[in-house]
Amino acid sequence: MKKKNTVKTISYVMIITLAGKLMALFRDRLLAQAYGTDMESNAFSAASMLPRVFFDAIFVSAITMSFIPIFSKCMQEGGKKKAFEFSNVFITAIGILMVGLSLLGMIFSDTVAAFSVGGFDQATLELCSDLLKILFPTMIFTGFAYSFIGILQSLDSFVIPALTSVVFNTVIIAYFFGPNAKWRIYGLAVVYLIGWILQAAIQIPALHKKGYHFRPDFNWHNSYLKQVGLLILPVMVSTWVQPFNFFINTKFASGVYQGSAASGINFANSLYTIIVGVFVLSIMNVLFPKMSDLVNQGKKTELEQLTGQILGVTMLFVIPMMIGLMSLSQEVVQLIYGGGEFDEFSVQITGTALFYFSLGMIGYALQTILARIYFAERNGRVPMIGAIIAILANIVFCILLVGRMEIGGLALASSLSATIYGLVLMIPLLRGERRVFNQMFFVDILKMTISAGLMAGVVFLVKPFIASLMEQGMIMQLLYLLLLTAAGMAVYGLSVLLLRVHEVQNVKNFLLERRRKKAGA
């Protein structure tokens, strides 16, 4: 993919991803206002989380970190025909696994609920078990959806995969404006299942256009499937951090505030991942296949230079996002979720969780980007070790902090875990002849941090003068946040320019080059 087309694709994907994430925020707002943080919300938060944890722990690692590098290698060695044959075997294997796990989850839903969120009262546990019977089959269609995404991304097709989130959220939002009043939480679970079926279905025409037609293939002796098998265990473990930490935090949260912390953690984590994920994941979903290609072509230096550039530009945006979200966590939660059944207490606990989740943004970005360089090189050992350390750290921090800080302690434990994981991945890349980091990178990080600190100071000074806007309805709340964001961005932008942050100059040069090309055209 040429550089110009890559940038254009990332722009399109980021716009579509942003649209999907904004719709997800609106979806969560409707959920929050309809159910607050009461029994139904707590049960649904846990029931929708558990299949996702199982799936993320087993399958996301296989598709995003194992399948794509091997598919790319297969394309180079045997062409599309061999790659598609490998895809059929891979999807067949994953489909069988997902069907088996879904059936087990449905049969033993009572046990799964009791083990996962034992802090709930009996009525909430029973509701959670009932919802699990509906939601566990989402794993099957999630498996197909992510497999199709992996194939399309490997074939340099990114727009349709990005649209899957838009389709899913459209279905859920429509439900809240229609049958929710009659069918309530059970209907919502069914619609979640329908949403995942549609995410897989909308990709089929694009796959056919690329020449791919899925047919079950039970050739377990496929050599490329064996290569995935050798890579998948360390990769699987290395991607457990986020889903397992969320599972662990929810388990602890089920015993805090009579279970309401489970909903608070869920809403805050969803908002946090939406905000940070729009930028980081949009870039990585487009560039990871390119990183795999560079490894297969033996261009190690180019791979490391690309990773360093991605990290620098990512930190330019993530650091002010982190500081800004911490400064306005309560106000953001009030705007997004406040109203209806989502009362002042719900806003307060969710805002507290969001504040401490935000501390993990840098760690999230580091682990998301740096893990890719190891996976592209088909090296899962370092990420696996880092993941084990991070998960154990989260458990220890949850035990130490939940009694003292309640929901804030759980979110802080997750942030510390993500930061530890990012640092573990970073250490080997600082040694030897690796060229991912240089002295300028760390100098620029310091400059960005100083600039973000100045931004936070200005926001703190301006807030009292316009605080009355927060009491005058949603439109004025939005205006309040926009004014503070604009003031903060102006200070941060001016500061990084004056401090001559290297990444700013790179972005500036790129924009000038684009303008010259358009003028010439």
3-state SS of 85-134 is HHHHHHHHHHHHHHHHHHHHHHHCHHHHHHHHCCCCCHHHHHHHHHHHHH
Residue 354 confidence class, pLDDT cut points 50, 70, 90:
very high
Angle between helix axes 329-337 and 474-498 (nearest 10 degrees) is 140
Average pLDDT over residues 279-293: 63
Find the radius of gyration of the CA atoms of the chain.
23
> Within a 10 A sphere around the Cβ of 438, how many other Cβ atoms?
12
Position of tokens 């800004």?
324
Structure token digits, residue 251: 């388990």
Backbone angle region of 121, left / alpha / beta, with phi > 0 → left and psi within -120 to 50 → alpha: beta
| Residue the block writes with tokens 């908002």 | 271
More confident residue, 171 or 504: 171
In 3D space, the residue among 344, 338, 358 whose CA is nearest the CA of residue 456 turns out to be 358
Distance from the Cα of residue 304 to its chain's centroid = 23
What pLDDT sits at residue 1?
47
Question: Three-state DSSP class for 213?
Answer: coil
> What are the Cα distances from residue 166, in Å, to 7, 15, 16, 199, 284?
22, 11, 8, 9, 19
Residue 207 pLDDT > 60? yes
Res 449: pLDDT: 92
210: helix, coil or strand?
coil
Does residue 142 carry a pLDDT above 50? Answer: yes
For 470, the enclosing helix (H) or strand (E) is none
Q: Percentage of the chain with pLDDT > 70?
A: 86
Question: Cα(169)–Cα(491) distance, rounded to whole angstroms?
Answer: 35
pLDDT > 90: percent of the chain: 26
Residue 89 · residue 219 · CB < 8 Å:
yes
Mean pLDDT of 59-79: 74
- Residue 212 sits at φ, ψ, to 5 deg, of -100, 130
Instruction: Return the pLDDT at 2.
Output: 46
pLDDT at 233 over 50: yes
CA 118 – CA 103 distance, rounded (Å): 22
Residue with tokens 């897989």: 200
- Assess contact for 49 and 266: CB atoms under 8 A: yes
Domain parsing of the chain, residue ranges: 3-437, 438-516
Exposed/middle/buried for 57, CB within 10 Å: 0-12, 13-18, 19+? middle
Compute φ and ψ for 218, nearest 5 degrees.
-105, 30
Residues 6+ apart with CB under 8 A from 436: 304, 307, 308, 311, 370, 373, 429
Distance CA 365, CA 314 (A): 8
pLDDT of residue 468: 76
CA dist., res. 233 & res. 218, Å (int): 21
Rounded to whole angstroms, how far apart are CA atoms 201 and 140?
13
Q: Three-state DSSP class for 342?
A: strand
Query: Exposed, middle or buried: residue 271 (CB in 10 Å: 0-12, 13-18, 19+)?
Result: buried
pLDDT value at 59 more than 80: no
Mean residue pLDDT across the chain: 83
User: Whole-structure pTM over 0.75, yes or no?
Assistant: no
Rounded to an integer, the average pLDDT of 280-292 is 62
Neighbouring CB atoms inside 10 A of 335's CB total 19
H helix intervals, 297-360: 300-327, 329-337, 344-358
In this predicted structure, the answer to whether residue 490 has a pLDDT above a threshold of 60 is: yes
| Residue 398 reports pLDDT greater than 90 | yes
